[in-house]
Amino acid sequence: MTLALFSLRRSLRRRLLGWLLIATAIIGMVALVDTWQEAVNTANTVSDRVLAGSALAIAERVVVAEDGSLEVDIPYVALEMLTSAAQDRVFYRVDGPPGTFITGYQSLPVVTQRPGEAAAFEDATFRGEPIRVGALQRSASTGISSVPFVVTVAETTIARRQLAQAILLRSAARLLVMIAGAAVIVWIAVTISLRPLNRLGAAIAERNPDDLQPIREEVPREVEGLVETVNSFMVRLSSALEALRHFTGNASHQLRTPLAVIRTQLALVSRAGTLEEAREAAAKSDAAVARAERVLAQFLTLARLNAAASGEAGALAPVDLLRLSQDVTADHVPAAAAAGIDLGFEGEGSARVAGEPLLLGELVKNLIDNAIAYAGHGAEVTVKVEEKAGAVLLSVTDDGPGIAPERRAEVMRRFVRGAREKAFGSGLGLPIVEEIAMLHGAAVTLDDGAVNRKTNRYGLKVSVRFPPVGAVAPGETPLSGAGG
């Protein structure tokens, strides 16, 4: 049974056949029951007429004797009319006025006739055999008075049963042939109908693995939806592949540049005439190693982001973003001081968000890195975390050159950098910030920053607005007082 169901589920053809067979079997059963009833009725009508004929023949021989009693001279021909059919046996009885039996089989059941009814028929049993009984009510007349009598004729039902059975068998055979025919037709029809699908399958199988062109095969209308879905999936796949190719190209370029520098500087070291020259080359290659490290760190962050986005990193946990940002800011103070930048932090208490601490740390780090790298010597940079109506707002504001409003959308794209940047970078910082924010349900905006007193121009303010805790993923347990 399980096996049959299993194969039903797997084969469209078997499934269709199964449905057809079940449906025709049910309809067929109903039809057969109806045919059987009809056949029995027909057989009964035919032989009831013969029964009535025999009873009438007998009734005509009933006469009133001189003493007023009834007499009957059974015409055996009348009974032979019946016996000629099959192996059936015939019985009869004649009764006079109520209570008087005249002749025949006294134990033969009588048919209770409704008043005024001349003839009646009934199924009964006699000597353990099923019989059909017919009764005819008449009266014999003496001229003065009339004496009522009933002629009862019965017959075993072998012939009529055989007739009904023959009719039923024929119908059943016809039905079976019909079902078998329909099954063959369905089998062939399904085979033919599935051909376009096979062609479609073959066309896809023949394709080059990187051929992501939409499928143009002619398919039945029912399959068009599937093909459209596959096509739109291929479009998405090809744009994802394109993005991946683009990324790989850019990424290898990003790594090759510092490696080429390292190699050149190492060659210089080996050829250096003085210790001074060697030191200089070594310092340059050290800086290049730092760049390569930076690029790799950004890639690692992206990989971690991918894992987190696909759910491998587990659910977000409560994180005190204020403490975290404060710590990251503190870590960057020496670097900021070295670049002549005044890096400060604003914010008190705690500000909890649902998040992944390592990624949130990367987010803050990238923003502070940018401010240190691009705000310029003497700039002032403020990292601020505040809680407003449950939402947590993180901002990094500087009074450096800023980013022109029309370029702000552009710098959010991977590998996009300012044209004249002297500081090393891979153009991944802001996209990483945005992706981490998105993962936390937060939104990033770039605005004018603090006004620079010397140049009178605005710097840059990057804000990240985190939704109130508990609103990140519906259904997540609201964060308790623990953590931070």
Ligand X SMILES: Nc1ncnc2c1ncn2[C@@H]1O[C@H](COP(=O)(O)OP(=O)(O)OP(=O)(O)O)[C@@H](O)[C@H]1O
Q: Return residues touching Mg ion (CB under 5 A).
A: 370, 425, 429
Which one of 22-30, 165-173, 425-433, 435-443 is the stretch in contact with ligand X (CB under 6 A)?
Answer: 425-433
467 in contact with ligand X (CB under 6 A):
no
The verdict on 328 binding ligand X (CB under 6 A) reads no
Residue type, 251: A
Amino acid at the residue 410: E
- Rounded to a whole number of angstroms, the minimum distance from the CB of residue 458 to Mg ion is 19
The C-alpha atoms of residue 151 and residue 149 are separated, in whole angstroms, by 7
CB of 411 to ligand X, least distance (A): 4
**361 in contact with ligand X (CB under 6 A):** no
User: Which residues have C-beta within 8 Å of that of residue 51, sequence separation ≥ 6?
Assistant: 82, 121, 132, 134, 153, 154, 155
298 binds, among Mg ion, ligand X, none (CB under 5 to 8 A by kind): ligand X
Instruction: Work out which of 425, 434, 444, 469 binds ligand X, going by CB under 6 A.
Output: 425
For 123, phi then psi, to 5°, come to -90, 140
Interface pick for ligand X out of 411, 436, 444, 469 (rule CB under 6 A): 411
Q: Which of 149, 363, 429, 450 binds ligand X (CB under 6 A)?
A: 429
Hey, which residues between 278 and 307 contact ligand X (CB under 6 A)?
294, 298
Amino acid at 244: L
Q: Which of 219/297 has CB closer to Mg ion?
A: 297
Per DSSP (E only), the strands in 32-111 are 62-64, 70-72, 90-95, 101-104
258 makes contact with ligand X (CB under 6 A): no
String marking each residue 369-408 x if it binds ligand X according to CB under 6 A: -xx--xx----------------------x-xxxx-----
Strands (E), 288-411: 317-320, 342-346, 352-355, 380-388, 391-398
Q: Which of 418, 467, 468, 470 binds ligand X (CB under 6 A)?
A: 418
Least Å distance between CB 393 and ligand X? 18
Q: How far is residue 358's CA from residue 352's CA, in Å, rounded to a whole number? A: 15
CA-nearest of 302, 272, 338 to 415 is 302
Of residues 306, 423, 428, 429, the one with CA closest to residue 363:
429
User: Cβ distance 97 to 147 under 8 Å?
Assistant: yes
d(CA 293, CA 291): 5
Residue 205 host element (H or E) = helix 158-206
For residue 211, give every residue at least 6 positions away whose Cβ sits within 8 Å of its Cβ, in sequence order, or none.
none
Residue from 18, 109, 427, 441 that binds ligand X (CB under 6 A)? Answer: 427
Member of 308, 428, 436, 450 binding ligand X (CB under 6 A): 428
* Amino acid in the structure at residue 307: A
Q: Binders of ligand X: how many residues, by CB under 6 A? A: 24
Distance (Å, whole) CA 369 – CA 149: 125
Q: Which residues contact 448 (CB under 8 A, 6 or more apart)?
A: 402, 458, 459, 460, 461
The site partner of 428 among ligand X, Mg ion, none (C-beta below 5 to 8 Å per kind) is ligand X
Q: Any contact of residue 347 with ligand X (CB under 6 A)? A: no
Taking the complex as a whole, how short is the minimal distance between the CB of residue 429 and Mg ion, in angstroms? 3
State yes or no: residue 436 binds ligand X (CB under 6 A): no
From Mg ion, ligand X, none, which one binds at residue 324 (CB under 5 to 8 Å depending on kind)?
none
371 makes contact, choosing from Mg ion, ligand X, none, with CB < 5 to 8 Å by partner type, with ligand X
> Which candidate, 141, 89, 148, places its Cα nearest to that of 116?
148
User: Per CB under 6 A, does 44 bind ligand X?
Assistant: no
In this complex, which beta carbon is closest to Mg ion, that of residue 352 or of residue 414? 414
326 binds, among Mg ion, ligand X, none (CB under 5 to 8 A by kind): none
Nearer to Mg ion, 262 or 375 (CB): 375
* Residue 251 found at the interface with ligand X (CB under 6 A): no
Residue 298: CB minimum distance to Mg ion, A: 8
Cβ distance 123 to 46 under 8 Å? no
Positions that interact with ligand X (CB under 6 A):
294, 298, 366, 370-371, 374-375, 398, 400-403, 411, 417-418, 421, 425-431, 460
